[in-house]
Amino acid sequence: MTTIVRPVRDTDRAEWLRMRHALWPEGTADEHAAEIADYLSGRLPTESGLLLASAVFVAERASDGLCGFLEASIRTCAEGCETNRVGYVEGWFVDPDARRRGIGKQLIAAAEEWAAGRGCREMASDAYVENTVSRDAHRALGFTESCRLAHFSKTLAGSTSADRAIGHRLTLLTVAGTFAVCKLPVGCAIPAWVTAAEGLFSITRTAAEFSIVRAEDAVPEDVQCERDWRCLRVAGAMPFALVGVLAALAVPLAHAGISVFAVSTFDTDYLLLKARDFENAARTLQAAGHVVEVAGE
């Protein structure tokens, strides 16, 4: 028996509803019908703003209707994944009489192709811990269990470890001037030259260390410091709940052998890079998908 996997059509409503109710029996027929109508009318289902796109694929028998479906989405995050654009299996079902024929694999393949074509580098899913059949099916198709909640993640073909580490695409502004990273005696007062002029400076004091970042021309010659640093600022303000921002910048720089000194503020992050590495760092960050713009502080 030949089975065709294709995008869902309006004429599939009844069969889609039947299979949806079999997969999620806790939902009423009216609830399923309303969600189907929303999808077919182009209203994107959202879950706290996490869904960026959605698609539904069905498996069509050679005759006698449908025998499976898969609802997919693109989420901004998923358990076990490192990027902020992840293909996700929201629901996956094959009729009992059509199982163990590769139909589930065909549906997953269609969803992966759809997600990869929209910029995703990872695919994720989930299953109840007690649903061993579903968990075994995920593993058989290349997913790995990523946490005890039985969420799953899978790397799409063509992705690299560097790609997976970069979850954010950021805009960075060049801060004018060169900077020095200074080390002062523990317990000494803040020198007047630190705050005497406008511009970026940072003061960090602990029980074991006292360090200052300041424009190089403001730092006296007798101060212990590393000079000749350039600076990039991440544009905009970032919420505290946002994770992986520094990793998105530091990972590609590390792969290029470029060291970085990071300073974080309430709103954003600053990257200090040795002047000799600055142009290479800018090219590396741009190649990783970030935008580097020249701007004053």
Q: Specify whether 147 is located in the same domain as 192.
A: no
Domain boundary pick from 99, 129, 159: 159
Q: Specify whether 179 is located in the same domain as 222.
A: yes
Q: What is the CATH number of the domain that holds 282?
A: 3.30.2130.10
What is the pLDDT at residue 9?
94
Number of domains in the chain: 2
Do the domain assignments include residue 246? yes
Q: Specify whether 98 is located in the same domain as 188.
A: no
- Could you give phi then psi for residue 167, rounded to 5 degrees? -95, -15
Q: Specify whether 153 is located in the same domain as 246.
A: no
Q: Read off the pLDDT of residues 119-149 as tens digits, 9 standing for 90 and up.
A: 999 999 988 877 888 889 999 999 998 876 5
Q: Specify whether 144 is located in the same domain as 24.
A: yes
The answer to whether the CB of 87 falls within 8 A of the CB of 70 is no
Q: CA dihedral in degrees (235, 239, 240, 241; nearest 10)? A: -120
Domain that holds residue 24: 4-159
Name the percent of the chain lying above pLDDT 70. 88
Q: What angle do CA 221, 224, 226 make, to 5 degrees?
A: 90
- Could you give phi then psi for residue 165, rounded to 5 degrees? -80, -20
What is the pLDDT at residue 183?
96
Q: Read off the pLDDT of residues 74-97 as tens digits, 9 standing for 90 and up.
A: 998 888 888 889 999 999 999 999
Do the domain assignments include residue 164? no
Q: Specify whether 134 is located in the same domain as 180.
A: no
Region 55-78 average pLDDT: 92
Does position 242 have pLDDT exceeding 80, yes or no? Answer: no
Neighbours of 245 (CB within 10 A): 16
Task: Considering only residues 242 and 260, tell me which one the structure prediction assigns the higher pLDDT.
Answer: 260
Q: Quick one: pLDDT band at residue 48, thresholds 50, 70, 90?
A: very low
C-alpha span between 116 and 107 (Å, rounded): 14
Q: Specify whether 154 is located in the same domain as 237.
A: no
Q: What is the CATH number of the domain that holds 72?
A: 3.40.630.30
Task: Considering only residues 152 and 78, tell me which one the structure prediction assigns the higher pLDDT.
Answer: 78
Do the domain assignments include residue 18? yes
Q: Specify whether 154 is located in the same domain as 176.
A: no
Instruction: Quote helix, strand, coil % in the chain, to nearest 5.
Output: 30, 30, 40
Q: Specify whether 151 is located in the same domain as 23.
A: yes
Highest average pLDDT, of 38-42, 123-127, 245-249, comes from 123-127
Give the mean pLDDT of the chain: 87
Q: How far is CA 225 from the centre of its chain?
A: 37
What is the pLDDT at residue 296?
42
What is the pLDDT at residue 118?
92
Q: Quick one: pLDDT band at residue 186, thresholds 50, 70, 90?
A: very high
Do the domain assignments include residue 215? yes
Do the domain assignments include residue 166? no
Domain boundary pick from 159, 193, 224: 159
Do the domain assignments include residue 165? no
Q: Specify whether 35 is located in the same domain as 153.
A: yes
Domain boundary pick from 159, 188, 217: 159
What is the pLDDT at residue 148?
62
Q: CA dihedral in degrees (27, 28, 31, 35; nearest 10)? A: 60
Name the percent of the chain lying above pLDDT 90. 56
Q: Specify whether 10 is located in the same domain as 153.
A: yes
C-alpha span between 31 and 37 (Å, rounded): 10
C-alpha span between 75 and 80 (Å, rounded): 13
Model pTM score: 0.50
The answer to whether the CB of 218 falls within 8 A of the CB of 245 is no
